[in-house]
Amino acid sequence: MQTPPPQTERTEPTEADVEAFELQLGRPPRGLRAIAHRCPCGQPDVVETAPRLPDGTPFPTLYYLTCPRAASAIGTLEAEGVMKEMQARLAEDPELAAAYRAAHEDYIRRRDAVEVLQGFPSAGGMPDRVKCLHVLVGHSLAAGPGVNPFGDEALAMLPQWWAKGPCVTPCAAGGGEQEGEAR
């Protein structure tokens, strides 16, 4: 088990951050508000998005995981059945269910502080389902430990995705390449 990355301050995105996002996801950001968490390598790994995209489309996912290494490792957990096991525990453990409901309420409160999306769910299946570990880990990274029990658990199961250095190197930082590309 690895030690999760420490919480970082929410920051305004720089030109290099926007470029890193584009390299990580292969598209320009939509509704980018802030960098919600930075990987220990220094690149963004979770961004905060607006509750509505620029065209007005509701986008209830406030925290969006961008690091492809972290996303791949989380995908492996999902494929191994971790969500199914978490869902079973949620149904059996009232204390865990209460903590997960509190995580849902935290997510909604943070999103509503930006813009209220009345009637829209929080994210990741909260509060009744475990639907997307990517969202739950993103919430844990952005909000810090102790806020989302399943996000914290999944985060603790992940390998140190940052150990090999940055997954991308933006031109603004002297690079402009994705992992695996030649300079």
> H/E element holding 38?
strand 32-38
Query: d(Cα 78, Cα 174) in Å, to the nearest integer?
Result: 35
Mean pLDDT score, 94-103: 98
Residue 99 pLDDT exceeds 80 = yes
Residue-wise pLDDT for 110-146, tens only, equals: 999 999 999 899 999 999 999 999 999 999 999 999 9
- Mean pLDDT across the chain, nearest whole number? 91
Domain limits for position 55? 15-178
CB atoms under 10 Å from CB of 31, counted, come to 18
Indicate the pLDDT class of residue 177, thresholds 50, 70 and 90. Answer: low
The pLDDT assigned to 178 comes to 57
Whether residue 183 lies inside any domain: the answer is no
Is pLDDT larger for residue 68 or for residue 119? 68
Beta pairing class for 168-169 and 63-65: unpaired
How many domains is the chain partitioned into structurally?
Answer: 1
Whether residue 165 lies inside any domain: the answer is yes
